[in-house]
Structure 1
Amino acid sequence: MRISKILLLTTLIVYILEGCQWGKKTPDVSEVKVNFELKSFYEQLFSIPSEEVDTHINELQNEYGKYFNAYCEGVIRIGSPTSPHFSENLLKFLTYKPNLEVLDTCKTVFTPKRKEILYKDLLQAFKFYRYYYPEREIPDVYLHISGFNESMVVDSGWVSVSVEKYLGRDCIFYEWLATPKYLRNQMEPERVVPDVMRAIAMTEYAYNDSTNDLISQMIYHGKILHFVEHTIPDIADTLLFGFTEKQMKWCKKNEALMWASIVEHKHLFSSDQMLIRKYVGPAPFTSFFGQESPGQTGRYLGYKILESWIEEHPEKTFRDMMDLTDPHSILREAKYRP
């Protein structure tokens, strides 16, 4: 009898927890087909013997096409492969001692096993992306070294990730570069896939600044978070929002107080860009809410507003929500009351 009660209670708890996911069901994507390549471009590039740079440039152009041009011109900024001094500039980049030190660390962190896991995680995320966006092309994913310039570069057929931005929060390079601690916390290898999907989302849904007030920014970033969550359904909330466990608990506990403060101070429809950045921009904390709060709490609240909108419109789909263009209407229709 006692065992039966325990089983009943366990079943009830599971049911309640599942029901708290606001009716959201994870689709079965096991039969969804996607094809893409994950290429360690940086390893191929740095494996070129210094005396053979000239002969390998054409090979790289033939294999990588426009990507090679974009990387050289836009990421490491050494000019076009057709420029007179290109091979000389490329050789300097490939033999620059700090770059070689970064290369060694990247190889240590992004081992063959980790890249195998990365491929599987990308494959799963791309399956969900194709499920929701069957008409979209699945991009290839390249791994590059940028000299700490770019974290992510996106084009129509590829996404390129700067691996030296994901070497772990304790990586000595970030200390040498005086990277703030709150930014280092996001520089973990586990962030690669969420950041790839976030980059795709921001390309798919460019921000419309025709009404550039706080609520517009909050809802825009909230939509991007929902996109990432829908393409990585099992993502931990700390990874989704970029919060620590302590910060996550703080946000859940203080959601209503944060919202009340924004409304009370009449910040919601402010177009003051400095004020907006304090709510949605990267920061160690949100200055309006005190040092225990994380930065970017405005994005968290934007996510919650859209969560409320979904609850109010159970007949609508994920893409219906993503295709909404009027943030003020979204706010009214969400009936958000934390």
Structure 2
Amino acid sequence: MVAPIIITAAPIMCAFHNVMLPSQNYGTKKGIKQGLGVKRGSCGGLQIKANAQNHHNGDDKISKVVSKSSIRQNFTIRSYEVDANGIASVETLMNYFQGSMIYHGKTLGAYNDVAGTTKEMIKRNLVWVYSEMQVLTYRYPKWDDVVEVETWVSTAGMNAVRFNWIMRDFKTNQVLNTASSVSVLMNKLTRRLSKMPEEIRRELESYLVNSRIIIEDDHKKIPKLDDTTADYICTGLRPQWSDIDVNFHVNNAKYISWILEGIPESILMNYELSSMSLKFKRECKIDSKLQSLAEVCSDNNNSNNNVEYNHMVRFENGVEILRGRTKWRSKLTHNFDIFNHVPEASIKDL
């Protein structure tokens, strides 16, 4: 066993232990990129949560009602919302999507509070929770860029709705990101999922779009990970009070931070997240103790130089909270060719 590498960063302290695997070939079930080994760590400490609504100039106040069911809202990328590369963090983008979702309902007159609830939802103590989330990123905005987020809601079966987003560069109108989430109703008293009452369906029906598809569903199964299948395990994760939202559970953006805890530093330094698919299993509260697991699916030896991981966030007792899949592309290419071919041609209007 390789001697453990101790990494200390005040006020966050992380201890990682490298355990070399029998095979260094990504093609094997337990293979890992050469020189990385298996990372098992203990992570905890304070986290800084990006807040999409904490802006102080006029840029983010600009909004436009595109139609009865669609609005656009502007955000300026702040210095505290960028990562070590000077680009907007994934958590920042997730907060923008959530913030624009609430603003969308408020502007159109559907929602009555910061939780995005309608009058009939308030009567029944119901709130929205994500069951699935997909994000495709073509290019990340950088510090001081102004982005425009378009939001609309579509149908997703009898008991769910789908929130959709397109993020554009405000100056060029080029598409930067697309995202989609399936949301269901939860009773905030019993913490159980609920069917959608007919009264709520009638409240929302005039705002729902039936024909517009922004991201195709990811039907590829995400496996459940455990200690034997995971290549990386980070333990000792705990939510902070600042991670809790108005529904008294962990904000969805925080899960991204926990997923990233299971990614090797070499990947974070040399690659950027290009797509993400999340499936939420249950909520997480303030007193939870968590672990983040990651499994290597493919490495940078493939033709497009991409890396792919499966993820799971679970309680210490093994009960899973979330499953996910992330895909990473090399930062060296900057993906300009992909970016220039993205705009509206990738958006389907049936």
Would you say same fold, with TM above 0.5?
A: no
Task: Please give the TM-score of this superposition, normalised by the length of structure 2.
Answer: 0.25
Answer with 1 or 2: which has the greater Rg. Answer: 1
Higher strand share goes to which structure?
A: 2
Higher helix share goes to which structure?
A: 1
Task: Please give the TM-score of this superposition, normalised by the length of structure 1.
Answer: 0.26
